[in-house]
Amino acid sequence: MGNSHRRKKKRKNKSTRPKQEPGPRPRLFCDFGRIANDLLRKGYNQDQILSISTHSCNGVMVPCTLHHLQTLTSRAVKHGRQSTMQLGARYKYKNAAIDVNMDTKSSISTTLTLGGEFLPSTHVKASVRFPDCNSSKLNLKFQHFFRNATLLFSVGLNRSPDVMLSATIGTSSIAFGMESKYKTASRSFTQYDAGISVTKPTCDASIILAEKCDLLRLAYAHHFGHSRKISAVAEVTRRLSKNKNSLAVGVSCILDNLTTVKAKLNNQGKLQALLIHKIKPNSCLNISGEVDMKALDKIPRIGLALALML
């Protein structure tokens, strides 16, 4: 009796064990070198930007859940003597979201995003822009159908749409990818890129051959220490048709939970620095500056960006 009871108990334990989910898939081709690109370019600007956002549920300012959320955002940008303003609204329910944006140029764009619950393992994103409907797109991302591959399909919503296909194969540590764009109006391929990405806990490297095999881009980012508070990045690009090279190096340092400092320098002698300070958990102040090391007599360019969440 005791042995039969133990056997039944073991069978129950085996049946109740959760199924092991497969490991992380390879990243999309558009994410190759994104870490290095963000360290070198994200946050830098020479404009004056003010962004104000508010959250509400059913129009009432109360604490919201991620399953039922409304967001209203206004954004003003001053570039030199020109000023632009943009007003946006976002409504999210579970894995579905709709975004509507309108700017001072009388341009209205609407984006509908559907998560994996609408179609299993599929993300659907459709964007429509008025009055220029030629820039409307439909994006389909398949990332869980394949164990070691990802697929992204994009098609324009017009009479002569541009079709873009992106595919990667590999693992979360190393991946090979390609991206091509076919123009139905001319019946020709206008873009075909290929690359490789290597990701480790302390570093991220990528090699991409883009623009019809004319531009070679190498990017490497390294994180120091287990906390990854200090990061260094380098990017080398070579234009094969013109035999020209460019180099950019940068560094990022997280001083504390609220403050981050970044700096970068390229082969043209442009030195840029950026200070990011969080005023609130969802509010941030960015101050950036640019100095031309080859023309120190010129006035440095200063940029200011303030994002407030009310």
Using alpha carbons only, give the angle 97, 99, 100 rounded to the nearest 5 degrees: 155
In this model, does residue 266 exceed pLDDT 80? yes
Per residue in 214-260, pLDDT tens? 999 999 999 998 888 999 999 999 999 999 999 999 999 999 999 99
Instruction: Tell me the Cα Rg of the chain.
Output: 24
Tell me what the pLDDT averaged over the chain comes to: 84
Summary count for the chain: helices (H), strands (E): 2, 19
How much is the average pLDDT of 47-67?
63
Using alpha carbons only, give the angle 308, 257, 74 rounded to the nearest 5 degrees: 10
Partners of 139 in the β-ladder: 125, 154
- pLDDT value of position 58: 52
Cβ of 43: how many Cβ atoms within 10 Å? 19
Residue 129's pLDDT band, with cuts at 50, 70 and 90, is confident
Partners of 174 in the β-ladder: 198
pTM for this entry: 0.79
Q: Is the dihedral of CA 92, 152, 24, 253 positive or negative?
A: negative
Q: How far apart are CA 233 and CA 42, in angstroms?
A: 13
Residue 94's pLDDT band, with cuts at 50, 70 and 90, is confident
